[in-house]
Structure 1
Amino acid sequence: MKKVILDVDTGIDDAYAIIYAIESKQLDLLGITGVNGNVPIDYVMKNTKKILKLIGNEEVKAYRGASLPLLTEPNHEFRVHGKDGIGDALDHITVDDEESDIFAPDFMIEQAKKHKGDITFIMVGPLTNLALALRKEPRLAEWVSEVVIMGGLVTKAGMGNKLPNAEFNIFADAEAAKIVFHSGLSLKLVGLDVTHKTFLTRERMEELKGTKYYDFIVESSEVFRGFSKQKYGIDGCALHDPLTIGVAIDSSIVQTEKHFVEVETQSELNYGQTICDFRNIWKQEPNMEVCLDVENEKFVTMFIDTLKQA
């Protein structure tokens, strides 16, 4: 079973990703690391612990990570995720404030060293924690088997969700993304242009009726679905982060190609843009696998079936 660390900025789709990762029974989840992103780090930690309590798996520990991006001011997405980050759907669940003393980047280094060549990092938030870990221990590039990243936008210019050409996770800390992209790690990029094909519609949510997660999925997604209806005319929520879990479990659901991808950190218009050199104009060796397409209906069904069996 693949050993993984899941790095989150727990908003709604992060919550679904945590549920999917644990309920799939196909990943050995060593721990969850939290990072500032969709919501501030205090919310991230509280939301993560609430989700673990909802699942009934509080044995998995959450580790507090970066509360700020490396250089820029923090950005949050309450308009998509609601005022608490998970659509106020778990107000009835209380969690304590107890946390590990281990800083998330240090936990990543510790586990990578312990499981050299046999650990995968799944990153579904800004890449600040991993960048900090790499700055402290560059040998991570040798120790980690693969890093699967939800981030970026490579084939659909103008279709970003933070700037026209920028996806939120990369925009939230583009300097961190640049460090990761140039680290020598084995990277797989699951971008917005692919994740946006994986909508869990309100209609398909009804397939979960009578199951453990139905109420949470419907209630938590209300704000997200309202945003999607306004922006895309779809009553549903894209499974951005759960798809990244799906790729870590079964990469055959996506089509990938190896390319060199750079991150823009200077332009006001394009800060956080992920630029994929499809034609090798820069004459650089590929630094990652880029996801270009997904069997979207197959994946959404996989996601629903996993939650049904919980």
Structure 2
Amino acid sequence: MTNTQPMINHRRKKVLLDVDTGVDDAIGIIVAATAPEIELLGITTVSGNIDLASATVNTLRVLKLLGKDGVYPVHMGASAPLYRKVRYATEVHGSTGLAGQLQEIPVDLPKNTAAEDFMIETIDQHPGEITLVMTAPQTNFAKALAKRPDIGRKLKEIIFMGGVADGRGNESPRAEFNIAIDPEAADRVLNCGAKITMVGLDVTQKALLTRKDLQALDGENPIVDFVKKVTADYMERHHSLQGIYGCLMHDPLAVSLAIDSGFVTTTPHFVAVETDSTYCDGETVCDFTDYWKKEANVHVAMELDREAFIDFLLNRIEKAGAFHD
């Protein structure tokens, strides 16, 4: 079976958002924090695109830009993968993660519960109701599962940006960055018993935001101005690394699926993560042919309605800016 019909959730969906805030995470936060369809219960941060402290500072700055500082709890999580050496994606997101934007906004790092404990506590308070959206390495939730192996089954669903089912990786020939950074964490998450949607490079590589798209953004306000400036640098880096004049909206797509699942077509498959391979480490191996005869554990996004998604994204950015005014 495939899912091709648009399905907007008319009841507010309880969401936990797990991020390593670089450029596209920031835009995902803008969408999540301003969506009337979403009840954002909190944001957890993890190292990935950049170090943990910078990811947290960026998250807090984006919330402050939106006028929502103090509205949503922000909890710091893992500063490194479960077992591996830490590494970042500064060649894509720059040394600050946001191309030097928002540096003038003062914030203080939170001194509260660790991310995995906040996840457990919040999920326990709302069993069967929470959508966990992860747009980063999955270390935080993997640590939560280590403490409470049952906690995945208490979620409504997981939507994660990561992996690639039937294509090239962006961290290695076969692996996508978020999974490659902490394959052991992803392996644990995929086996946690939750309903899972994988939003991988199969669709996010098609989620291209172009200069023409950005020119269509209406409004003179700090939100639209920030998006235009931060994506301009992101586009230059994409062109340098991939020859693309545009920027890929990996993380906003995953967030947007919590609002409207109809942007993508998904197919259920058994997916495993390679954790011990010379050439394929971090690969999300998708059993398209049912070779292993194992029950499907992931709904894999395979097709994207790019035009519908980009129109939605631009509309939400404009609305966030108008609300800010």
TM-score bucket of the superposed structures, by smaller chain: over 0.9
| Residue matched to 1:220 | 230
Question: How far apart are 1:17 and its partner, in Å?
Answer: 0.3
Contact 1:198 1:300 in 2 (8 A): yes
Contact 1:79 1:223 in 2 (8 A): no
Question: How far apart are 1:96 and its partner, in Å?
Answer: 2.2
Question: In structure 1, what residue type is equivalent to 2:227?
Answer: I
Contact 2:269 2:288 in 1 (8 A): yes
SS state of the match for residue 289, structure 2? coil
1:164 pairs with 2:176 = no
| Residue matched to 1:57 | 68
1:275 pairs with 2:285 = yes
Q: What is the aligned counterpart of 1:17 among 28, 31, 38? A: 28
Distance 1:171 1:142 in 2: 25
Cα RMSD (Å) = 1.1
Distance 1:80 1:209 in 2: 27
Question: In structure 2, what residue type is equivalent to 1:51?
Answer: V
Question: How far apart are 1:209 and its partner, in Å?
Answer: 4.3
1:129 pairs with 2:129 = no
SS state of the match for residue 258, structure 2? helix
What TM-score do the two structures reach when normalised by structure 1? 0.96
SS state of the match for residue 163, structure 2? coil
Q: How does 1:1-310 map to 2 (within 5 A)?
A: 1-58=12-69, 59-97=71-109, 99-156=110-167, 159-212=168-221, 213-310=223-320
Q: Output one character per residue of 1:78-131: Cα deviation in whole Å (capped at 9) or x when no partner.
A: 11111100111112211123x142010001100110000111100000000010
By relative contact order (CA 8 Å, sep 6+), the higher-ranking structure is 2
What TM-score do the two structures reach when normalised by structure 2? 0.92
> Gaps (5+ residues) in structure 1?
none
Distance 2:55 2:64 in 1: 14
Distance 2:23 2:152 in 1: 30
SS state of the match for residue 71, structure 1? coil
Distance 1:285 1:233 in 2: 39
Q: Output one character per residue of 1:197-249: Cα deviation in whole Å (capped at 9) or x when no partner.
A: 11111221112243432221122123321122234433211110000011111
Poorly superposed stretches of 4+, deviation over 4 Å = none
Distance 1:303 1:129 in 2: 27
SS state of the match for residue 309, structure 1? helix
Question: In structure 1, what residue type is equivalent to 2:101?
Answer: A
Question: How far apart are 1:142 and its partner, in Å?
Answer: 2.3
Question: How far apart are 1:24 and its partner, in Å?
Answer: 2.1
Question: In structure 2, what residue type is equivalent to 1:60?
Answer: Y
Percent identity between matched residues is 41
